[in-house]
Amino acid sequence: MLLLLRWFLLACALLLVASLYPGVQVTGYASALWAALVLGLLNTLVRPVLVLLTLPITLVTLGLFLFVVNALMFWAAAALLDNFNVAGFGAALIGSVIYSLCALVIDAALEQLFGRRR
Protein backbone atom coordinates (compact mmCIF):
# COMPACT_ATOMS: atom_id res chain seq x y z
CA MET A 1 0.00 0.00 0.00
CA LEU A 2 2.89 2.33 0.80
CA LEU A 3 4.33 1.72 -2.67
CA LEU A 4 1.09 2.86 -4.31
CA LEU A 5 0.97 5.97 -2.14
CA ARG A 6 4.56 6.80 -3.09
CA TRP A 7 3.74 6.26 -6.78
CA PHE A 8 0.75 8.63 -6.61
CA LEU A 9 2.80 11.25 -4.77
CA LEU A 10 5.63 10.99 -7.28
CA ALA A 11 3.10 11.51 -10.07
CA CYS A 12 1.99 14.67 -8.26
CA ALA A 13 5.64 15.69 -8.02
CA LEU A 14 5.98 15.26 -11.76
CA LEU A 15 2.99 17.54 -12.28
CA LEU A 16 4.65 20.04 -9.94
CA VAL A 17 7.85 19.90 -12.00
CA ALA A 18 5.82 20.52 -15.15
CA SER A 19 4.11 23.53 -13.56
CA LEU A 20 7.34 25.00 -12.17
CA TYR A 21 9.56 24.52 -15.21
CA PRO A 22 8.28 25.15 -18.75
CA GLY A 23 10.80 22.75 -20.34
CA VAL A 24 8.90 19.77 -18.91
CA GLN A 25 5.32 19.08 -20.01
CA VAL A 26 2.84 16.50 -18.75
CA THR A 27 -0.66 16.52 -20.25
CA GLY A 28 -2.60 15.16 -17.29
CA TYR A 29 -2.59 13.12 -14.12
CA ALA A 30 -2.90 9.79 -15.96
CA SER A 31 0.12 10.71 -18.04
CA ALA A 32 1.98 11.67 -14.87
CA LEU A 33 1.16 8.26 -13.38
CA TRP A 34 2.55 6.50 -16.45
CA ALA A 35 5.62 8.75 -16.47
CA ALA A 36 6.28 8.10 -12.78
CA LEU A 37 5.97 4.37 -13.42
CA VAL A 38 8.36 4.46 -16.38
CA LEU A 39 10.81 6.63 -14.42
CA GLY A 40 10.71 4.16 -11.55
CA LEU A 41 11.31 1.21 -13.87
CA LEU A 42 14.18 2.95 -15.64
CA ASN A 43 15.74 3.94 -12.33
CA THR A 44 15.42 0.38 -11.07
CA LEU A 45 16.57 -1.49 -14.17
CA VAL A 46 18.77 0.76 -16.31
CA ARG A 47 20.27 3.30 -13.91
CA PRO A 48 22.41 0.79 -11.93
CA VAL A 49 24.00 -0.42 -15.17
CA LEU A 50 24.73 3.15 -16.26
CA VAL A 51 26.16 4.03 -12.86
CA LEU A 52 28.46 1.02 -13.02
CA LEU A 53 29.57 1.77 -16.58
CA THR A 54 30.26 5.42 -15.80
CA LEU A 55 31.97 4.79 -12.46
CA PRO A 56 35.40 6.08 -13.57
CA ILE A 57 34.03 9.42 -14.80
CA THR A 58 31.79 9.64 -11.73
CA LEU A 59 34.83 9.26 -9.49
CA VAL A 60 36.80 11.86 -11.44
CA THR A 61 33.93 14.36 -11.22
CA LEU A 62 33.41 13.56 -7.52
CA GLY A 63 29.90 12.25 -8.16
CA LEU A 64 28.62 15.15 -10.23
CA PHE A 65 28.23 12.90 -13.29
CA LEU A 66 25.33 11.24 -11.49
CA PHE A 67 23.31 14.36 -12.34
CA VAL A 68 23.90 13.52 -16.00
CA VAL A 69 22.81 9.91 -15.43
CA ASN A 70 19.62 11.12 -13.71
CA ALA A 71 18.94 13.54 -16.57
CA LEU A 72 19.40 10.70 -19.08
CA MET A 73 16.82 8.60 -17.22
CA PHE A 74 14.41 11.56 -17.20
CA TRP A 75 15.00 12.19 -20.90
CA ALA A 76 14.61 8.49 -21.75
CA ALA A 77 11.26 8.34 -19.95
CA ALA A 78 10.09 11.34 -21.97
CA ALA A 79 11.25 9.66 -25.17
CA LEU A 80 9.26 6.52 -24.37
CA LEU A 81 5.99 8.31 -23.59
CA ASP A 82 3.81 10.51 -25.80
CA ASN A 83 2.20 12.70 -23.14
CA PHE A 84 5.41 13.46 -21.23
CA ASN A 85 7.74 15.84 -23.06
CA VAL A 86 11.12 17.33 -22.20
CA ALA A 87 12.45 20.19 -24.34
CA GLY A 88 16.07 19.00 -24.37
CA PHE A 89 18.93 17.75 -22.24
CA GLY A 90 19.14 20.98 -20.23
CA ALA A 91 15.44 20.73 -19.44
CA ALA A 92 15.93 17.08 -18.49
CA LEU A 93 18.74 18.06 -16.14
CA ILE A 94 16.74 20.79 -14.41
CA GLY A 95 13.57 18.68 -14.36
CA SER A 96 15.39 15.68 -12.89
CA VAL A 97 16.92 17.83 -10.14
CA ILE A 98 13.52 19.26 -9.18
CA TYR A 99 11.92 15.80 -9.37
CA SER A 100 14.68 14.30 -7.23
CA LEU A 101 14.24 17.00 -4.60
CA CYS A 102 10.50 16.32 -4.54
CA ALA A 103 11.14 12.58 -4.23
CA LEU A 104 13.52 13.26 -1.34
CA VAL A 105 10.84 15.25 0.49
CA ILE A 106 8.20 12.59 -0.25
CA ASP A 107 10.43 9.78 1.02
CA ALA A 108 11.29 11.72 4.18
CA ALA A 109 7.62 12.50 4.84
CA LEU A 110 6.54 8.89 4.28
CA GLU A 111 9.32 7.64 6.54
CA GLN A 112 8.25 10.13 9.21
CA LEU A 113 4.60 9.13 8.92
CA PHE A 114 4.93 5.38 8.61
CA GLY A 115 8.41 4.65 9.93
CA ARG A 116 11.06 2.58 8.27
CA ARG A 117 9.88 -0.96 7.50
CA ARG A 118 12.44 -3.71 7.04
User: What count of Cα atoms within 13 Å lies in the side-chain half-sphere of residue 61?
Assistant: 12
Q: What is the pLDDT of residue 36?
A: 97
pLDDT digits (tens, 9 = 90+) for 43-59: 999 999 999 999 999 99
pTM: 0.92
- Rounded CA separation 90/6 (Å): 27
Q: What is the pLDDT of residue 56?
A: 96
Alpha helices in 1-118 (DSSP H): 2-20, 29-45, 47-53, 55-60, 65-80, 89-114
Residues of the chain with pLDDT under 70: 117-118
| Among candidate residues 56, 78, 77, 58, the one with its CA nearest the CA of residue 68 | 58
Q: What is the pLDDT of residue 1?
A: 87
Cβ–Cβ under 8 Å, residues 26 and 83: yes
| Among candidate residues 39, 33, 34, 41, the one with its CA nearest the CA of residue 12 | 33
